[in-house]
Structure 1
Amino acid sequence: MSCYYKYSPNQQTTQVQKCKTDINIKVNCHDGNDDGNRETDAFRAVNSEPQPIEEVNTFFKVFFQDEQFDIGGIYNSTNSTFVPRRSGVYYVAGTVTFLANDGTVPYRVRVEIRVNGVPVAADNDYWAEIDDQFLYVNAINVNTILQLEAGDLVEVFITSTTPGTIEANTPELSTRFEAARFR
């Protein structure tokens, strides 16, 4: 016995052909106080104010002061660190929006996710042949899936070959740090 789903041309509705089998759905409801039953740990934090990067070719920790949510108490907005309380597999991502002080000079920006001070994932963007009639803002995203131990220290760092500013998070300019644990 099988079911199939057919999307409408506008992708807004789904038509389902009737299945010829019973489906059982298990729902685990609890009051949120039992960490053993919590299936997901997750957080999302954004940068709420510009962060100048004045020294070139030096790594700086990126700050994400505005905690949007923190399920499981795994994020510290005071020092912008993610510390898993439970060992497991986590999706971790950091996006940094960088604006160079001089938008006409070619430059390189590197953003890293570090675990216990060791880089584990990075993205490296290079900007060249820049048209000085436009303002270029560079959004660098790094993401990975990691096997983390409870108590690991996870942070985001940036370096650039030109001075600039990490822009505050807005709907148009995304500077964020987020993670979620797989069950």
Structure 2
Amino acid sequence: MKTKRVGILIYDYVDVLDFTGPAEVLALTTKNKVEEALTLYKKELLPTKPFDVFTISETGKQIKTHSGIKVEPDFSFDNSPELDILIIPGGPLRAVQSMIKNKKIQEWIIKHKNSEYICSVCTGAYILGQTGLLNGKKATTHHLALKNLQEKYPEIQVVLGSKVIHDGKLITSGGVSSGIDMALYLVEQIMGESVAKRTAKTIEFAR
């Protein structure tokens, strides 16, 4: 299969696990056990990796995460490669509200509406919801934000009690660690259940 280009949006005060969880899952996914062993042994990922994962911010300048860790994005909106998959992580509601109000970010997400998959993690559903792409779709978010998401975006069919919701090409996940579940679900959709199970075992994650 052709390598899928996965762009992860990052911004000031984003939650670290929201984007590093999916990044690790997809980066460590391999086509077979031999490549898995080589990936875990070598310093660099194999050129045959199924997913090419990179981070993108609006300006390409260093961002500061919610926990204070500083991250240098791989690309800006102006120089990022074409995407097959877009992942929108969440953060504290104040940070998410800034993303909602940022028209350039909203327009950039809408520009990628024809990607194979657009995914949100946790409160990233608010950022995706503001684009209107979730209207009429089922979606989820952090359990403490479910009611507020439904009130803010009444056209979204907010689902309770599910970590991952897939509707069309949109995949949303609830809670910070659910980005790992979401990424493994993506692996299963694209590469099959056996590869997803092997990847989960590689990172010792109980689905």
State the TM-score bracket (shorter-chain normalisation): under 0.3
Normalising to structure 1: TM-score of the pair? Answer: 0.26
| Structure with greater Cα Rg | 1
Larger helix proportion, structure 1 or 2? 2
> Which structure exhibits the higher relative contact order, with contacts defined as CA atoms closer than 8 Å and separated by 6 or more residues?
1
